[in-house]
Chains A and B, each alone.
Chain A
């Protein structure tokens, strides 16, 4: 059948895959944001610690995802959701961590000094001044990570994880068959659509949570 026919035929299955894909990416993103921002807050004033954290995160990023999945499974995480979430989280941390550190460090020292001079404690400075001002940069980092792990999530299907990867792998295994191209295309299209959805979501999120005075 043709590709559009295939899409209409498989509509609900594809939707299910979309949901599964979204869920696993969002979970990993949430955990990675928590870890990345926390580490960023803890290390942005300590250059040595920051360097170590960044080095570790970027080392993870250099490891090919297929290999990292393999390691995750090999050390006993099994198949399906657990290794998928662990791997995706690992990859998502770097961009978030790095942007948190850069964003926090880029706040004009004069502003911090006047906050300090007004008697704000370190915590108050962080929460009321530095974080709100670093926020746009942090969101940019989360967005980069989101797109990144969205692409990686396709591999997860091979090891039992959810998402459009299963369409792609099915297309591979039925190579030569009638639907194999449709399968692969629908898998790719699904990921692209999700990517666009993320772009829109982040644009809205950024607009709503960033102070008007910062544009």
Chain B
């Protein structure tokens, strides 16, 4: 995600909110107080905050489902604050938490709603429906089914498809994956991120779940009461450099752990461990071990896949290498997050994980706690948070 952010600021501003405020009648305090922000084209901006902070209200002011009390809204440099709202909304995709599929219409008719309003002809609509069904992985045979015949996850997908039907450049999503179980939710999130890579829409996403925000957002706006922005930045920055106590509290404990889920194991430097092959001689293996100064050697098979760990004793005893030592099981693929890697390492025998290529399983390197912690330290240059005795231990590691 970090590569995308740099390029973003080169794009145009898709949405600009200028001092947007909303006070509901009969209330003294505004629900949203003078919120200003810019959203770039093609980025996913996530609004997170506690219940009642006004994040949904703010999102709903963008398409004026809730009319602002004051302030202006610009979409692609056009001031739409006073534009005809129906016209405005036909060009913005809108997905709400309860989905709101029309129960008395078939799936196909649901999807076709906005295109029909925009005057598309039947053929174009039909083709678009086919495309969308495929995109959201719903079988085409479901076209004429009714919402009540679908599962919750399927309905959610159709809700997204319906919002994309007229190919709007902007989409507003209010807890769109909230109403399903965690497993389905994760799947939907992954699918959506894959989709966004292709379609590159500007998306405003509201959630109360900080983990979802970190996963989905190119930038996150952490909101206080009255939608005051506590911090509006990339997930990496927010995690490693929270603006104040409120943001820190919101992230909760485990910010560093969360940060780890954003990096891949292939990004960090691996430790140097001696490797040999199963069909090497005992002497070769011993030599490699002594050269490296390590206590263990990793044995690979003829296809360079990691197989076993052996130590000095195993070699002295002269057992066949194929049975000596113990099997190597703590293995992660290159694209795994640091978080998952750490998870694997904790349960491994010696606190290390073997990195392999995801396609052929070939050995790529070994990471251990020292390398992972070093990587974390690199992410937090301002903090001198690493304990001094730990630094001392690291000195003897080869660089």
Write the residues of chain A forming the contact surface with B, with a CB cutoff of 8 angstroms. 108, 110-121, 124, 129, 132-133, 211-214
Say yes or no: B100 contacts A213, CB within 8 Å.
Answer: no
B188: CB under 8 A from chain A? no
Question: A117: which B residues are within 8 A, CB to CB?
Answer: 63, 65, 89, 92, 94, 96, 172
Given contacts A114-B101, A213-B146, 7 further A-B contacts (CB under 8 A): A111-B102, A113-B100, A114-B99, A117-B92, A119-B87, A119-B91, A211-B103
A119 touches B117 (CB 8 A): yes
Report whether B117 and A120 are in contact in the complex, using a CB–CB cutoff of 8 Å: yes
Number of interface residues of B (CB under 8 A): 31
Chain B residues, Cβ within 8 Å of A114: 94, 96, 99-101, 159
A133 touches B103 (CB 8 A): yes
Q: Of A110, A118, A214, which one neighbours B90 at CB under 8 angstroms?
A: A118
List 19 A–B pairs whose Cβ atoms lie within 8 Å, in order of A's numbering.
A108-B100, A110-B97, A110-B98, A114-B99, A114-B100, A114-B101, A114-B159, A116-B65, A117-B96, A119-B85, A119-B87, A121-B86, A124-B117, A132-B104, A211-B146, A212-B146, A213-B105, A213-B106, A214-B103
Closest CB of chain A to B175's CB: distance in Å?
A: 12
Shortest CB-to-CB span from B133 to chain A, Å, is 18
Q: Which of A110, A115, A213 has the most CB of B within 10 A?
A: A213
A37→B88 CA distance, assembly (Å): 31
Please tell me if the beta carbons of A211 and B105 are within 8 angstroms of each other in the complex.
yes
Which residues of chain B from 281 to 297 have any CB-CB distance to chain A below 8 Å in the complex?
Answer: none
CB-CB under 8 A for A110 and B117, given A119-B86, A119-B87: no
CA–CA, A213 and B100, complex, Å: 14
Compute how far the CA of A57 lies from the CA of B101 in the bound complex, rounded to whole angstroms.
35
A99 to B207 Cα, complex, angstroms: 38
Shortest CB-to-CB span from B116 to chain A, Å, is 10
Once the chains are docked, how many angstroms separate the CA of A121 from the CA of B87?
9
Q: In the bound complex, what is the Cα–Cα distance between A116 and B54 (angstroms)?
A: 20
In whole angstroms, how far apart are the Cα atoms of A58 and B104 in the complex?
32
Chain B positions within 8 Å of A121 at CB level: 86
**Contacting residue for B100 out of A111, A133, A211, A214, CB 8 A:** A111
Residues of A within 8 Å of B63, CB to CB, are 117
When C-beta atoms are compared, the residue in chain B nearest to A211 turns out to be B104
What residues on B are CB-neighbors of A112 within 8 Å?
Answer: 100
Question: B88, B89, B99, B159: which has the most chain A beta carbons within 10 Å?
Answer: B89
- Say yes or no: A111 contacts B117, CB within 8 Å: no
Asked whether, in the complex, the Cβ of A119 is within 8 Å of the Cβ of B88, the reply is yes
Give the complex CA separation of A120 and B147 in angstroms: 20
Q: Mark B99-115, 1 if CB is under 8 A from A, else 0.
A: 11111111000000110
- Which residues of B lie under 8 Å from residue A108 when comparing CB positions? 98, 100
Contacts of B187 in A (CB 8 A): none
B148 within 8 A of A: yes
* Complex Cα spacing A101 to B162, Å: 29
User: In the complex, A113 Cα to B117 Cα: how many Å?
Assistant: 17
Closest to A212 in B: B146
Chain A residues within an 8 Å CB radius of B99: 110, 114
